Amino acid sequence: MDTSQTPESAQLMEQILYEVKRVVVGQDRFLERVMVAMLAQGHLLVEGVPGLAKTLTVKTLADVVRGRFKRIQFTPDLVPADLVGTRIYNQKTGDFSTSLGPVFANLLLADEINRAPAKVQSALLEVMQERQVTIAGESHKVPSPFLVMATQNPIETEGTYPLPEAQVDRFMMKVLVDYPTDEEEYVIVERVTGPAVQVQAVATTEQLAALQAQCRNVYVDPSLVQYAVKLVSATRTPDKHGLKGLGAFITYGASPRATIGLVEGARALAMLRGRTYALPEDMIDLVPDVLRHRLVLSYEGLAEGLDADALIARIMGAITPPAKPLEHEKRAA
């Protein structure tokens, strides 16, 4: 079966984006990252103040692809059973039955994930990595496709639990969502206060699964994979890559999951842009999103007032991306 990109799949992605944008104003970059995560089968960590259409975007996308959408508000009193489900005893029959939790959805929104204790966060860990949950020793697979989008509030950090590194690493990207422009805000107010927009379901979860399969076949040149390896390696051993003194600011660098995320993300972005091969700019666009949550800064780095984005910019400045593939190479790809 040939899974190279067809005009139908490009048209389908265009229709999905068009439908979502009928409801969501602006946020193009954020929406693009959500689509990249869906195609690359990765999870998304989103940071932004309340009221920036994070929930609306994911719910609308679920409606457009006829997927099941669930939202969980994370609170300090949440227990793992509230997330994955539990065993219920039926007094009449004397049997136990399994009640599945809200994680059994195609698009799961974990709102304010850092407000729940470690026990709940670790329950989400298994679902994100294994795409299954274990209740009373029995495994239950979550539906496919499956995407977790977790939100974090950058303000009001009182009463929050920092996410453990192991969990943060399972998010393919961390996206920062900013305020809309004045023009966008005007349109938002007009749209929200005007007649309600009904979105059309233009795709199915089966079609989405087919798009994910096509995404795996997007060609990534070995030189581009090498570039991803160098970037991630530079977060661990900056001195080896000519970044003297940068090592003092980083306690831990990124794991191999970051390298995989860069390659898979470049594939998905290339496919969104209508190509069957990835170009250096596809990967370059995603580097900050894939790496920013994986760098653990040292006390020296924090004392200098640095953040992960500033360090990533220095690393990207020191490592030269590969040249664009030549025309004949494109055809071969």
Q: pLDDT per residue over 281-320, tens digit each?
A: 999 999 999 999 998 888 888 888 888 898 999 999 888 8
Regarding beta strands 138-141 and 147-152, do their DSSP bridges make them parallel or antiparallel, or are they unpaired? unpaired
C-alpha pair distances (Å), 74 with each of 133, 265, 333: 18, 28, 45
* Nearest Cα residue to 233 out of 269, 251, 259, 205: 259
- Give percent above pLDDT 70 in the chain: 94
Task: Return all residues near 66 (Cβ < 8 A) that are at least 6 apart.
Answer: 201, 203, 204, 205
331: confidence class by pLDDT, cuts 50, 70, 90: low
Output the pLDDT for position 43: 93
The yes-or-no verdict on residue 244 having pLDDT over 90 is: no
3: confidence class by pLDDT, cuts 50, 70, 90: very low
Output the pLDDT for position 1: 37
C-alpha pair distances (Å), 245 with each of 217, 234, 253, 294: 40, 12, 14, 19
Which tokens sit at 36?
A: 């990249």
C-alpha pair distances (Å), 277 with each of 208, 254, 262: 20, 25, 14
Give the dihedral sign, CA 303/307/308/314: negative
Output the pLDDT for position 322: 87
Q: What gap in Å lies between CA 304 and CA 328, rounded to an integer?
A: 48
**What is the number of alpha carbons within 13 Å of residue 184 lying toward its C-beta?**
13
* Nearest Cα residue to 110 out of 44, 63, 158, 19: 44
157: confidence class by pLDDT, cuts 50, 70, 90: low
Regarding beta strands 44-47 and 147-152, do their DSSP bridges make them parallel or antiparallel, or are they unpaired? parallel
Classify each residue of 122-139 as buried b or exposed e, where b means 16 or more C-beta atoms within 10 Å of its C-beta: ebbebbbeebebebeeee
CB atoms within 10 A of CB 255: 16
pLDDT tens digits for range 19-36? 888 888 877 888 889 899
Output the pLDDT for position 330: 56
* Nearest Cα residue to 171 out of 49, 82, 257: 257
262: confidence class by pLDDT, cuts 50, 70, 90: very high
